[in-house]
Structure 1
Amino acid sequence: MSLQPAESRIPIPFAGTVSGEGPLTWGEKALLQDQRETGWALNASGAQNLAPGTTVESLAARLGALISQQPALRVRLVTDPQGVIRQRVADSGEAALEVLDFADSDDPVEVAQYTERLWQEWLIAPIDHYRDWPVRMGVVRHRGVARYQVLSFNHLVIDATSMTYLMPELGVGDPPAGAGSTTPMNILELAEYEHTEAAQRVSRRAMRFWESQLRDIPPRTFGEPVHPEGRLGSRYWHGRFASPAAYQAVLAIAQRSGGDVSRVMFGVLATALGRAMGHDRLRAKVILSNRYRPGFSEIIAPLAQNAIVSVDLTNATVDEVMARGRQALLASGMHAYYDPDHLNELIARLDAERGYPAEVTLRMNDRRRATQRWAAEEARATRVTPADIEARLGETFFSWDGTLDSCHDQAFVTIEDYRSTFHLQLIFDMACFTEKQVEDFVYGVEQVAIEAAFNPDAPAGCG
């Protein structure tokens, strides 16, 4: 970064009424395991424009009040004498607001660009679960005015839904409808509940479903590496794909079929993957929320966990793949709340019984939050025509953006939170795929969506 702002820190004392020590929640266990496997920080970060008149002092007051109010934001991990990781909610402490002051002569455009790069740096910056508080906040000040706030939350103690309740307290967005109508469990109470016999029964029932899905899987979803040179000498590549035309086609499918936009997108992705990779069954790890469970809607804690989804792609139309995918996601969602220790025990047993270790190495994630409602409203309110789709075809793009040192999965496909486009973030182990296969997949997303936009009999053509 070429600009060099002056940096300072404002101490923010906080104190809360809930404190104590307890076991980890299932969501916390799952996040720690994901962090170990991927090596990624998995933070929730972003930057927002500040309303005129916002002061550094008011931001500091908001942050202090939020940390005082939310026990999850006062969590640090500890290890007991037996080596077991536990969580401790502090009754009081001191956080800090990081202030970045830019020179009056600095270009406002460059200040904005600096802010954009900063939140992306915070997104991947490791957070020490034992020493750091779970929320980090900065304010960018230029020419004496607070212009932007930068936030980063430790994903260990929150999920995307938690953010919808936290952000309005920091002046961003409106609270969800009905927020505050109940007093939800705090993160320690959730962990206590998950040790009850009732919760343990839920986990054991989930394991029976997982066993039915994992028993006959191959060692790795896409086979062993066959291109050791990878792409340009590197195995793990990440890239982006975006298609406004595919998005218009998805809206058309949703309108034609009465389907949910998210489920349509999943069916399109499944079909495109099957075609490109020559698979007749899609097995994937998909992150699903457990918020539908009674009393869970407003809890500030991680309540999304990996689910296992299996979809048969053979002898089907695209519409049939979407219907099968919807049913598979519903079944998986019913079994996505479990103790990760139980899943690890199940996997070890199945590996021993099979005689070889095996895992699902395709991960899919729909990270849309802000635009999910927008897409649903568009699907209801507009009528897409073939001309609407054709008009957007020239905006499609795909780019390889760089490499990673490692990736636990062979393929990681994420639907990103962008309006009016089918936007994917992609990671592929290029020792397992050719560039043509990846390109056939990403451009196949657009092709599948367009083929099925107005044709309920469009064949999936997988396997």
Structure 2
Amino acid sequence: MSVQPVESRVALPFSSTVAGAAPLTWGQKAVLQDIRETGFSLNASGAQAVAEGATVESLAARLNSLVSRHPALRVRLDTDAQGKDSQVVVGSGEIAVEVMDFGADDDPDEVGKYIDQLWLDWLMTPFDHYRDLPIRFGVVRYDGEAIYQVPCYNHLVIDGTAITLLMSEFTTGELVGGGMHLLDLVERERTPQALKANDRSLHYWESNLRDIPPRTFGETIHVDGRQGKRFWHSRFSSPAAHLAVLSIARRTGMDTSRVLFAIMATALGRAVGHSTLTAKVISSNRFRPGLAEVIAPIAQNSLVTVDLAGATVDEVVARGRRALLAGGMHAYYDPERLTELMARLDAERGYQAQVSCRINDRRMTTRRMVDEQARTAEVTMDQIIQKLPETWFSWDGTLDHLHEQAFITVEDHGDTVHLQLIFDMGCFTEEQIENFAHGVEQVAIEAAFDPDAPAGCG
């Protein structure tokens, strides 16, 4: 960077009457398991312009209030007497605001680049779960005026909905999450009602896991991967597919998330020659009583199996809806119990098996807007065709490790289908991945105005 700020810290004491040691919640166990398996930080970070007149002091005061009010923001990990992961919600301490000052002579464009790099760096920098509080907060000043805030949250204490709730409270000052808090949730998950729900979820998982193959997409056959590297990430963007999805969603009466799942399942089936897809899909669990506004990670993996054989795309949308609904109804469970179940099934089968495909619709800010567009938009094929030149695909780089064979994420863009793709190229060819990505667009366009368009999988 050609510009560097003068850095300082403002530390404020916080206190609360809510404190104590407790086991991890089911959602926390799931996040910690993901962090350890993937090696990724899984932080949530970003940069937002601050309101005119905001100061470091006013932002620090709001942060202090947020941390004092929400036990999840005062968590550190610990180990209990049996050596298992646990947590401590501290009742008092200090929270720091990291201040970065730029002078009037610094190039505003370079300052903007610094801010973009800062939140990306924080996104990738792991928290020390045992020493750090689970929130990091920065303020960027330009010529003495606060211009941006940069929050970063440890995924161990939040999910997408929790972030939205916290940022709403931070911005407006209106209190959220006034009912159940993190320590209440720990107690709730010990109740007979919760344990029965856990048992029902595990029964569902057992029925779907019993006959799965060792890995979703077979064993490693390309030992050198792509260009000598096994694990690659890439991106795909298609405004044309976005318009086609709007059309399908309007015709079928489905939300865009379900339509996108069906289209991706169909495109993947075509690319790899599979007629059935079993995948892990993130489910929010916020529909459950009392969980709508709790500040905690509530989202967990659901298990979804959809049959693609002999179906039209519209039928895959309907089948996918039923599968997603069933999976979502059984996505609230104790991950430790699920691990025990999987080990038992491995022993009974005589081989180890895992579902190694994960699909995640990560849209937080644009999903509702896009669903509203689907209810009202009058899309034409000419509009779709005009957008085709804007489609692009890129191979972006490699990773050292990937727990899944395929990790497909729908990113938060309101005017395009934007996918983040991570694949184990020991199991796929470059052609298959690019065929899948462009197949998402192809499937969507084929079915945009044709309810009888065949899925053509298997």
Q: TM-score, normalised by structure 2?
A: 0.98
Give deviations 1:311-348, integer Å, cap 9, x for gaps: 00000000001100000000000100001111011000
Post-superposition offset of 1:206 = 0.5
Q: Which segment is superposed worse, 81-90 or 54-63?
A: 81-90
Give deviations 1:12-40, integer Å, cap 9, x for gaps: 21111211111110000111101111001
- Is 1:245 aligned with 2:235? no
Report the Cα distance in structure 2 between the residues aligned to 1:280 and 1:321, rounded to whole angstroms: 11
- Is 1:59 aligned with 2:59? yes
Report the Cα distance in structure 1 between the residues aligned to 2:104 and 2:277, rounded to whole angstroms: 55
* Partner residue, 1:6: 6
Report the Cα distance in structure 2 between the residues aligned to 1:12 and 1:444, rounded to whole angstroms: 53
* Partner residue, 1:408: 403
One-letter identity of the residue aligned with 2:259: V
Partner SS for 1:370: coil
Superposed, 1:54-203 pairs within 5 Å as 54-171=54-171, 180=176, 183-203=178-198
One-letter identity of the residue aligned with 1:57: E
Give deviations 1:111-159, integer Å, cap 9, x for gaps: 1111111111111110011100111100111111111111101110111
Superposed, 1:264-275 pairs within 5 Å as 264-275=259-270
One-letter identity of the residue aligned with 2:457: C
* Partner residue, 1:254: 249
Post-superposition offset of 1:82 = 2.2
One-letter identity of the residue aligned with 2:215: R
One-letter identity of the residue aligned with 1:367: R
Report the Cα distance in structure 1 between the residues aligned to 2:263 and 2:71, rounded to whole angstroms: 40
* Partner residue, 1:343: 338
* Partner residue, 2:212: 217
One-letter identity of the residue aligned with 2:162: S
- Structure 1 ranges of 4+ moved more than 4 A: none
CA contact (8 A) 1:204 1:342 kept: no
* Partner residue, 1:379: 374
One-letter identity of the residue aligned with 1:399: S
One-letter identity of the residue aligned with 1:315: G
Report the Cα distance in structure 2 between the residues aligned to 1:268 and 1:121, rounded to whole angstroms: 33
Report the Cα distance in structure 2 between the residues aligned to 1:222 and 1:14, rounded to whole angstroms: 50
* Partner residue, 1:446: 441
* Partner residue, 1:49: 49
Report the Cα distance in structure 1 between the residues aligned to 2:2 and 2:398, rounded to whole angstroms: 24
Report the Cα distance in structure 1 between the residues aligned to 2:80 and 2:340, rounded to whole angstroms: 22
Give deviations 1:347-386, integer Å, cap 9, x for gaps: 0000000101000100110000110111011112221011
Identical-pair percentage = 62
Partner SS for 2:214: coil
Report the Cα distance in structure 2 between the residues aligned to 1:12 and 1:417, rounded to whole angstroms: 34
Counting matched residue pairs gives 458
* Partner residue, 2:22: 22
CA contact (8 A) 1:273 1:441 kept: yes
- Is 1:359 aligned with 2:354? yes
Post-superposition offset of 1:215 = 0.5
Report the Cα distance in structure 2 between the residues aligned to 1:268 and 1:372, rounded to whole angstroms: 16
Report the Cα distance in structure 2 between the residues aligned to 1:249 and 1:53, rounded to whole angstroms: 43
CA contact (8 A) 1:75 1:133 kept: yes
Report the Cα distance in structure 2 between the residues aligned to 1:270 and 1:2, rounded to whole angstroms: 45
One-letter identity of the residue aligned with 1:378: Q
CA contact (8 A) 1:252 1:384 kept: yes
Say which of 415, 421, 440 aligns to 1:420: 415
List gaps (5 residues or longer) in structure 1: none
CA contact (8 A) 1:23 1:192 kept: no
CA contact (8 A) 2:201 2:333 kept: yes
CA contact (8 A) 2:267 2:443 kept: yes
One-letter identity of the residue aligned with 1:415: V
Report the Cα distance in structure 2 between the residues aligned to 1:446 and 1:252, rounded to whole angstroms: 13
CA contact (8 A) 2:103 2:144 kept: no
One-letter identity of the residue aligned with 1:345: E
Report the Cα distance in structure 1 between the residues aligned to 2:249 and 2:316, rounded to whole angstroms: 14
* Partner residue, 1:437: 432
Post-superposition offset of 1:259 = 1.5
CA contact (8 A) 1:187 1:300 kept: yes
Post-superposition offset of 1:304 = 0.3
Post-superposition offset of 1:249 = 0.2
CA contact (8 A) 2:99 2:138 kept: yes
Give deviations 1:432-453, integer Å, cap 9, x for gaps: 1111000000000000000000
Report the Cα distance in structure 1 between the residues aligned to 2:270 and 2:3, rounded to whole angstroms: 47
Report the Cα distance in structure 1 between the residues aligned to 2:212 and 2:179, rounded to whole angstroms: 39
Partner SS for 1:106: coil
Give deviations 1:180-238, integer Å, cap 9, x for gaps: 5x842111110111112221111111111001110011111111111111111111110
CA contact (8 A) 2:137 2:152 kept: yes
Post-superposition offset of 1:80 = 2.1
- Is 1:391 aligned with 2:386? yes
Post-superposition offset of 1:103 = 3.0
Partner SS for 2:268: helix
Q: Which segment is superposed worse, 83-92 or 208-217?
A: 83-92
CA contact (8 A) 2:235 2:396 kept: yes
Partner SS for 1:171: helix
CA 1:48–1:143: 2 relative to 1, 3 Å: same
Give deviations 1:276-316, integer Å, cap 9, x for gaps: 01101011011101110111101111100011100000000
Q: Which segment is superposed worse, 241-250 or 71-80?
A: 71-80
One-letter identity of the residue aligned with 1:288: S
Partner SS for 1:93: strand
One-letter identity of the residue aligned with 2:21: E
Report the Cα distance in structure 1 between the residues aligned to 2:354 and 2:179, rounded to whole angstroms: 36
Post-superposition offset of 1:79 = 1.0
One-letter identity of the residue aligned with 2:112: A
- Is 1:33 aligned with 2:33? yes
List gaps (5 residues or longer) in structure 2: none
